[in-house]
Structure 1
Amino acid sequence: EHPGLDGVSLQSDGIGHAGVGQEGRHEPVVASSVKTGKASHNKKRVRAIEWMSMFFARSRDYQYSFIDCHCHIDLLYARLNITPETTFSKFRQNYSDTFPQNYEGCVAVFCHPNTFTTDNPQDQILKCISAEEGVWIA
């Protein structure tokens, strides 16, 4: 289980997929795997999962590599309570249903000045991310 978009909790097989679909490709987690809660929050969750499902399916047909040229990895980690020692490849594995099929990498933009201080856990994110393949730092 891991949170998806907007804090959506998803049940999955550990890599963000519900099963194997056409041509042996994994299918994204579907709305039936959403944990129940308040009605209005459930609608938001279902919409987020529907969006992820459509995005994931649509990205199968993309012909070119995708590089996110403005990615705030430090803010993602903070918002999702990811430990600074978590590699971005592990993050991508845990949140694979939010990345397009043709994803090749990202340009990480660190906007918090605290990211660059040695006494801050955010600095650990910078050190960890700088060793990742497919992550460029700006």
Structure 2
Amino acid sequence: MERGQDIALGLLFAGLGLGAAWQAASYSGAGGSYPMVLGLFLTLCGSLVILRAARARADVARRLVDVPGNMTKALAASIAYVALVVPLGFYTASALLMLCLPLLLGFRRPLYTLVVGASFIVLVWLVFSVVLEKPLPAELWSVSRFGGD
């Protein structure tokens, strides 16, 4: 039962990834490179799920979610994040998510959380602003957001 579900889920992810990569290939210029990479990464992840399920020896039932409360907290944090990106800006909303989500899930190592959160923000900035040169939603505190340069 579980093996069949895992294979079906892997096929779904691999198919979605291939579809996204195929669609991104039709974008002009470099605009499709990031979605194509994401689509191919999703295809790879789906393929790994299929391989793992195919290699599994036993078809053992398992719980879908080990800690339903944590899943609910993560879902609520994700919804709040999406709602806050436009009013606060991408980096501010992302930093808040990176700081609050570990606390919501019970992680109690503040220094580690700060380092991982800051590293994530720097990595996202490097990828979008430096490598891809793609604008993200302006920050709440940004001067350009208020009509200045």
Pair member with larger Rg? 2
Higher relative contact order at CA 8 Å, sep ≥6: structure 1 or structure 2?
1
By percentage of residues, which structure has more helix?
2
By percentage of residues, which structure has more strand?
1
TM-score, normalisation: structure 1 = 0.30
TM-score, normalisation: structure 2 = 0.28
